């Protein structure tokens, strides 16, 4: 009985949750026939954890906490956190968009595609780092607002959707906040890519 309870708890702690997506404007029809999709990322509106800390507030608090536990560790974490958007989060999103929508529809998906007619703006609005204590864990969560705009006129929003709490979970242990959050970006891109494929069929 104890073994069954242990397995059930372990399973519950590792299973990811479905992502809630709400379309607030438009549809995907404008993407028909397109062979390029430009992508831009906006990390300026981030709030962190249930307390809705600003990114600066969270970095200062977490750096202090980690330095108090182990001198210098907080400063090391701060460098990793600041590098994460460019080194982990953006690449994870682009990789999964390319593997889903890009591969299925023969579309190049990347940053800096100024020749693309449309641009996807990934506005990152909320992050929850999650935690990993070995046996028990809590997945990271990523919330974004996804806007498809004309590249030449970014005020023209053709479609907008809100993607809530994409789970950043992996099998096995993952003790890196930045990596767990990266899996949330991957989940967001995978969900979006599959949605586009389904709607354009």
The predicted model scores a pTM of 0.88
Which H or E element spans position 127?
strand 118-128
Residue 191 is predicted with a pLDDT of 96
pLDDT surpassing 70 at residue 170:
no
Pinpoint the alpha helices (H) of the chain: 2-14, 55-69, 73-84, 90-97, 103-105, 177-200
Q: Which helix (H) or strand (E) holds 154?
A: strand 153-168
DSSP state for residue 18 in the 8-state scheme? P
Helix (H) or strand (E) holding 164: strand 153-168
* Whole-number Å distance between alpha carbons of 186 and 122: 12
**Cα torsion 69, 74, 76, 82: sign:** positive
Question: Confidence band (pLDDT; 50, 70, 90) for 173?
Answer: low
Residue 71 is encoded by which pair of tokens?
A: 């001198």
């Amino acid at each position: 009985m104890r073994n069954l309870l242990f397995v059930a708890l372990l399973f519950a702690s590792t299973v990811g949750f479905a992502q809630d997506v709400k379309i607030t404007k438009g549809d995907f029809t404008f993407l028909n026939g397109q062979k390029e999709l430009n992508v831009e990322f906006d990390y300026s509106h981030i709030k962190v954890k249930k307390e809705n800390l600003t990114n600066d507030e969270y970095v200062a608090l977490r750096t202090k906490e980690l330095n108090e536990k182990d001198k210098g560790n907080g400063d090391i974490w701060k460098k990793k956190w600041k590098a994460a958007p460019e080194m982990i989060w953006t690449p994870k999103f682009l990789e999964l968009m390319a593997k889903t929508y890009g591969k299925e529809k023969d579309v190049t998906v990347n940053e800096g595609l100024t020749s693309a007619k449309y641009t996807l703006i990934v506005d990152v609005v909320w992050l929850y780092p999650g935690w990993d204590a070995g046996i028990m864990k809590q997945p990271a969560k990523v919330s974004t607002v996804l806007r498809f705009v004309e590249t030449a006129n970014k005020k023209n929003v053709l479609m907008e959707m809100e993607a809530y709490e994409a789970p950043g979970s992996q099998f096995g242990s993952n003790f890196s906040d930045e990596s767990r959050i990266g899996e949330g970006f991957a989940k967001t891109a995978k969900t979006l890519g599959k949605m586009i494929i389904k709607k354009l069929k």
